[in-house]
């Protein structure tokens, strides 16, 4: 089975099941990348390390690796160990000492980075024209910008060179280029995926993002790369509990002055709303003023000073290859005072207070991803004005703590350079994925039911153990048996009955511990958690596939002096040793 451009993640799995060699498949992908249009990649494909990882995977096998042998591109402000990171500026280049957390997690799931993708320099821009490494082509219309800042990542996916690619999204960089090239753009909640190893733009609002050609592929990659990171201060360990879907979608009550989309985009958007209504959604008019006003704070006010904190020293040093528009934006950012910054924070808090009750009543807010079809000529002639207009419908999302998904705006098989954007409250990624997939007619299976919450159990709540009834009495459903990652220690806690184990994550390594994943509806999950008491707690647990789930962990004080039983690999195995002791 020979590789051809356009494979999705499932195509790779099918090829390997049919006996294809990972080295051969990845070799073909690398060869195709050498012929990619100018501006897609920065530097050569990562040939030697990619083939080395492919060989290692073949020896290991695919068990437990959901992205086994799947190639991906990495936006070149995200570190890949041993490869250069430029952030779109030749004079900024350094060799990354290790993988960014998101890259490391994707590798752990079996995925292979095969190239570094072009971007608007220092991730400053939404147009894709601000790079000394060339201009990636818009795959749908040659006269239009490809979108930025994650231009190369989006174009590489749209061309079918890889099934998914990593971008970043601060103001829309993971959504605008997806829309303009007719693919899916997944922007998770702020803090869902770690920013460690990413050259920051506005660090507290940056989101590693995913481009793919299907919602399912974007979600699979996003799940593999996401989870808490103890070494990243803006990483989040939990999100609000998902509410039940309402089938209510917010739509613009009116377009504030100067914000309406161009005629083509407006026509496609109105057709999309008709489709959503036909699918049974209630369309609720929403005032957009606080959303857009919040977005204006990012680049039109003192919050832009965070860009100076990130790369201002590099710009001040006059590095080789600085883009004049980018350097001009970053240099201006140093003019704001601390008092200005606090005033902006107060304004942002007011906008969040205005928006939160609106969003809580909806499954999502629906907007076009972009308001206009921006030509390359216009982006070069009026770089700042054109860029601000292009981001009008995306810039506010991270400031207001919203997740977002962009899908193609037309569903009749005619590809157009525009996307439909679903925006939801933090933690609503799975709900948004269902909305986007249904809109474009893609089959979709939630990670669990949209009405259920997963919990990982490790001891007395396992199937057949004395406290398992606490799950089943609440309608708990068994999801799967698996293990943790190899970074956990297991202890036999003092006290009982019943006997209980304690699971603790170890920075110095440990073992993979047998666990089960169960699901509960949100109300039952809340009642279940209320039964948990010292020495146990509910906290994040990394599973063998690299995903993170809430589950039983021991509080550190509880394991002092307790017996370390990590070597037996699980609670059932430990109990068996006691029966035969």
Which distant-in-sequence residues (6+ apart) come within 8 Å of 142 by Cβ?
A: none
Question: In 3-state terms, the chain is what percent helix, strand and coil (to 5)?
Answer: 35, 20, 45
Contact 552, 457 (CB under 8 A): yes
How far apart, in Å, are the Cα atoms of 190 and each of 3, 122, 388, 550?
36, 19, 22, 18
Residue 485 is among the residues annotated as catalytic for this protein = no
Name which of 366, 369, 427 is nearest 401 in CA terms.
427
Beta bridge partners of 139: none
Which distant-in-sequence residues (6+ apart) come within 8 Å of 462 by Cβ?
A: 468, 516, 571, 572
Residue 173 is among the residues annotated as catalytic for this protein = yes
Ramachandran category for residue 569: left, alpha or beta (phi over 0 → left; psi -120 to 50 → alpha) = left
Contact 57, 68 (CB under 8 A): yes
Angle made by CA atoms 305, 429, 475, in degrees to the nearest 5: 140
Tokens for 343, please give them: 């005033």
| Residue that the structure tokens 């690619």 belong to | 165
Exactly one of 131, 153, 173, 428 is catalytic; name it.
173
Radius of gyration of the chain (CA): 24
Residue 116 is among the residues annotated as catalytic for this protein = no
Exactly one of 75, 116, 187, 500 is catalytic; name it.
75
Residues annotated as catalytic (active site), given as ranges: 75, 149, 173
């Amino acid at each position: 089975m020979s590789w051809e451009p356009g494979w999705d993640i499932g195509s790779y799995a099918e090829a390997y099941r049919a006996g294809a060699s990972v080295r051969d498949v990845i070799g073909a992908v690398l060869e195709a990348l050498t012929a990619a249009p100018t501006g897609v990649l920065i530097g050569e494909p990562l040939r030697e390390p990619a083939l080395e990882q492919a060989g290692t995977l073949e020896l290991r096998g695919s068990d437990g690796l959901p992205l086994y042998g799947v190639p991906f591109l990495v936006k070149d402000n995200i570190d890949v160990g041993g490869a250069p990171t430029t952030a779109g500026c030749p004079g900024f280049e350094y060799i990354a000492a290790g993988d960014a957390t998101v890259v490391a997690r994707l590798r752990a799931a079996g995925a292979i980075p095969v190239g570094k993708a072009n971007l608007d320099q220092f991730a400053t821009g939404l147009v894709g024209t601000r790079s000394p490494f060339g201009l990636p082509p818009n795959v749908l219309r040659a006269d239009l910008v490809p979108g930025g800042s994650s231009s190369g990542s989006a174009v590489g996916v749209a061309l079918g060179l890889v099934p998914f690619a990593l971008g970043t999204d601060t103001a829309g960089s993971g959504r605008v280029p997806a829309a303009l090239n007719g693919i899916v753009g997944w922007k998770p909640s702020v803090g869902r995926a770690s920013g460690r190893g990413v050259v920051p733009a506005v660090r507290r609002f940056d989101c590693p993002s995913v481009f793919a050609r299907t919602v399912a592929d974007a979600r699979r990659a996003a799940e593999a790369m996401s989870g808490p990171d103890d070494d990243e201060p803006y990483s989040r360990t939990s999100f609000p509990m998902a509410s039940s879907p309402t089938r209510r979608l917010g739509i613009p009550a009116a377009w504030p002055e100067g914000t309406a989309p161009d005629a083509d985009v407006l026509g496609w958007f109105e057709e999309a709303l008709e489709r959503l209504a036909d699918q049974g959604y209630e369309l609720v008019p929403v005032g957009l003023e606080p959303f857009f006003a919040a977005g204006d704070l990012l680049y039109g006010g003192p919050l832009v000073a965070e860009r100076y904190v990130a790369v201002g020293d590099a710009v001040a040093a006059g590095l080789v290859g600085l883009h004049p528009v980018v350097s001009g934006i970053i240099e201006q950012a140093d003019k704001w005072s601390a008092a200005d910054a606090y005033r902006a924070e107060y304004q942002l808090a007011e906008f969040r207070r205005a928006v939160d009750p609106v969003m809580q009543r909806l499954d999502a807010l629906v907007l076009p991803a972009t308001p206009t079809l921006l030509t390359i000529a216009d982006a070069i002639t009026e770089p700042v004005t054109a860029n601000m207009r292009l981001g009008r419908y995306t810039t506010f999302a991270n400031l207001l703590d919203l997740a977002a998904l962009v899908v193609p705006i037309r569903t009749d098989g005619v590809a157009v350079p525009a996307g439909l954007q679903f925006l939801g409250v933090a933690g609503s990624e799975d709900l948004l994925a269902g909305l986007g997939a249904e809109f474009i007619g893609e089959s979709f299976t939630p990670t669990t039911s949209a009405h259920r919450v997963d919990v990982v159990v490790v001891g007395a709540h396992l199937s057949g153990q004395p406290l398992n009834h606490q799950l089943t009495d609440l309608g708990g459903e068994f999801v799967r048996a698996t293990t943790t990652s190899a970074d956990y220690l297991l202890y036999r806690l003092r006290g009982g009955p019943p006997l209980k184990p304690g699971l603790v994550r170890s920075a110095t390594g440990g073992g993979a511990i047998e666990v089960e994943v169960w699901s509960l509806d949100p109300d039952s999950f809340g009642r279940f958690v209320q039964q948990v008491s010292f020495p146990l707690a509910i906290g994040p647990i990394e599973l063998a596939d690299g995903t993170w789930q809430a589950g039983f962990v021991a509080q550190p004080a509880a394991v002092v002096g307790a017996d370390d039983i990590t070597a037996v690999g699980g609670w059932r195995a430990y109990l068996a040793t006691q029966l035969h002791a």
